[in-house]
Every structure is written in structure tokens, then in C-alpha cells.
Amino acid sequence: SLCEAGERLQTAAEALCALDALAPRSSPGDGEPTPSRRFIWHRLHPKYISWLPARVSPREVLIEGERIVVSDVGVLARDGCVEGEAFRSGVPLAEVSVRGLLVSGHLDVLRRWLRHTSEEKRASRSAFHKAMHQLLVEEAADAALATLRQAPIDSEADEYLDRCLLLATALSRPDEAKRCLQQAELQAKYAIHLSLCAATWKDFFGDDVSARRCLQQAETKADDSVDWPFCAQGWKEVFNDEMSARRCMQQAEAKAGDSWDWRSCAESWKRLFGDDASARRCLQQAENKVDNSADWRSCAQSWKGIFGDDASARRCLREAEAIAEDLLDWRTCADGWHEVLGDIASAERCRHRAKEIKE
């Protein structure tokens, strides 16, 4: 499922900014993170960074599913805050990660997001989110630190990693941060967690040895085409090791089975390498593996999201309609027309068809 997958996961001046994002990662030098220092969390390919602002909304992003107004999405992409794109009513929006904002120092955006979040949602989120709210909104650093120290952790690598990043940055507690990172590595079950641990060892503690160890362990845990792109991401983003990253992508393709797998490969080729040819090849394979209307809808989103290709997206949605059989299929088609292309007329036509079947 997508949840499982997520669990195991601009001119010359613009070009220079993009290339700067791929410069070798600096080390603090003394083995301890420097709180005032900023790091790039999502190290995207220069072509992708320069391409993105022209393809998405320049003033609005998605943070954990919520739409937030920002000053310049291009700056967020350059600073390593953007992890992908999504669609809302046909409008492509950059997906920005909380971790990316935190380690890059974009605390103003984080604060805006936290204030935007309802009290009900805050109550359902983790101690990490509560501590961020206390620190950035309530300006209560001691309370935030107490929250992180007292809240239990259910042996989850993600929880340890979140706490590590907050302790190492805004709270300036490097020793505690390192202990959380060690636990994150020990509890890591999937390649995505070990890849993230590698980036944290390298960026915050200048520890190349531990970073390489994590990436090597990530490969031993890689089992399918969901895992291998995270290994590729680790080698490419942490060490700029293109040879190892491409080797991992070859493994991802070798393990690819269904349409979802091939779409994941296509996105990784584009985002990490700026490799349009490989991304197109994988999307064509994804179409060859389509089983249902939902797959065609997802292919439409990939063509639109990766290449801005409205024609191919429209073709895929027509294919989705051609094999639609039941109520769920026609609702899927309607959502595709609405969310991916913003085609209200086609969406309403599909909803009408779904209503006829329901009646």
C-alpha cells in the first residue's frame, strides 16, 4: 500500500543555485552539530530544481496534506525542503516536508503551518509535533524539551529520527540528538529509515563512516522496488555517488512488478538524476502493467507531475474510462479529471455515470 511504501521511503543564477544544492555536504568538523548551520535535506537534481517552480504553484505548497502560503517555492526547492509534487483540483503543488523545513532553517514556514493546524489535529499528532508547536508557536523551549524527554517512544525509527533533528537544530542538544540517532539506526526496519539515518550522520555529525554503514545496511534490507530507490537516494544525496545510485536504480527496475513500481522508478530517475529518457521508459512500462482504472489514473498523475504532459495525462484518463466497470471505477475517473487536470466538465460527466450505476 501507499502507507507501507511511505514507511519503507529557473536563468544562470537559478542554475548556479541549483548546482550549489549538489555541492558536497559540509561537516561541522568537531563531531558535533552546529545549531545555527543549515542543511539540505532533499538533495534534488539541478534540472529538477530549475524545472519545478515553472510547473507548480509559486506561492502555495502542501505540508502533510495541508495547503500553506509561502513566499517562493523555488527557494524552498533549492534549500532542500521539497520532496515531490501533488495535485489539488488540477493545480500542481510542491510537497514540502517538515524535516526539510526544520533542518534548512525555514522555521517561519513551519510556524505558519503549525498555527494553521487545528487543535484536534495537533492532539492526534506525535510528541515531535507537540514539541515543535511549544517551541515555535508558544515560544516555550523548556516545555518542548520536556515533551521530547518524557513522551514514550514505541521503538519506531521515525520517532527517534524526528526527535534527533529537533534536538540537533532548534533545541541545540547535540548529545541527546546523537543518542536518538543511534536508536533510530538500531530500530530501522526498512531501507528508507537507514537512508535518512545516513544523511543525518553525515550532515549533523560529519560521520562518513556511520553514514556509509547505514547505506550498506539499507541495501541488505532492500527487498523490492519500493526499497531500492531509497538506497539510490541515499548514495546520491548523501555522498553524490552516482555510480552506486544508478546501480540501486537498476535493482529497483529489476524488482519492479506492477504499475506502481514502475511509476516510482520513473519519479526517482527524474528527481534524483534529471534523466528524462529513463523516466519516460519507466512510465511506458507502468502503462504496460496497468490492471484497472485506478492504475490509469495514477499514470495520468505521473505524466502530469513528472513531465507536465497534459496530453498523456488526458490519454490515460480516457483509458481509465474505457475499462471502468463499477461505481468505484467511475469515481476514480472523476477524481482524476478533477485533481490532475482540473477538468470539471469531464469530472462531472464521470460522477453522473457513477450516480447512474448507484441508482
Interval 93-133: pLDDT, tens: 999 999 999 999 999 999 999 998 877 776 667 889 999 99
What pLDDT sits at residue 21? 37
Comparing 84-98, 101-115, 227-241, 318-332, the range with the smallest average pLDDT is: 84-98
Residue 80, pLDDT > 70, answer yes
Residues 6+ apart with CB under 8 A from 263: 282, 283, 286, 298, 299, 302
Residue 4, pLDDT > 80, answer no
Residue type at position 299: C
Q: With beta carbons less than 8 A apart as the criterion, state whether 269 and 282 touch.
A: yes
Q: With beta carbons less than 8 A apart as the criterion, state whether 161 and 197 touch.
A: yes
Residue 207, pLDDT > 50, answer yes
What pLDDT sits at residue 6? 43
What pLDDT sits at residue 117? 81
Confidence class for position 152, pLDDT limits 50, 70, 90 = confident
Give the cell for residue 165. 533533528
High-pLDDT (> 90) share of the chain, %: 74
**Which string of DSSP letters, residue by residue, matches 42-56?**
S---HHHHHHHHHHS
| Dist CA 349 CA 97 (whole Å) | 35
Comparing 7-16, 150-159, 160-169, 349-358, the range with the smallest average pLDDT is: 7-16
What pLDDT sits at residue 122? 66
Q: What is the pLDDT of residues 274-319, one digit of tens each?
A: 999 999 999 999 999 999 999 999 999 999 999 999 999 999 999 9
What pLDDT sits at residue 219? 97
High-pLDDT (> 70) share of the chain, %: 88
Q: What is the pLDDT of residues 158-206, one digit of tens each?
A: 999 999 999 999 999 999 999 999 999 999 999 999 999 999 999 999 9
The vertex-274 CA angle with 228 and 54, nearest 5°, equals: 125
Residue type at position 338: H
What pLDDT sits at residue 38? 67
Cell 485506478 belongs to which residue? 294
What pLDDT sits at residue 67? 94
What pLDDT sits at residue 12? 34
**Which string of DSSP letters, residue by residue, matches 266-318?**
HHHIIIII--HHHHHHHHHHHHHT--SHHHHHHHHHHHHHHH--HHHHHHHHH
What pLDDT sits at residue 47? 87
| Dist CA 167 CA 335 (whole Å) | 41
What pLDDT sits at residue 297? 97
| Dist CA 355 CA 51 (whole Å) | 40
| Dist CA 19 CA 45 (whole Å) | 8
Residue 8, pLDDT > 90, answer no
SS (H, E, C) 207-226: CHHHHHHHHHHHHHHCCCCC
Q: What mean pLDDT is reported for the chain?
A: 87
Using DSSP's 3-state secondary structure scheme, residue 133 falls into: helix
| Dist CA 231 CA 216 (whole Å) | 9
Bridge partners of 62, per DSSP, are 67, 95
| Dist CA 70 CA 59 (whole Å) | 5
What pLDDT sits at residue 30? 33
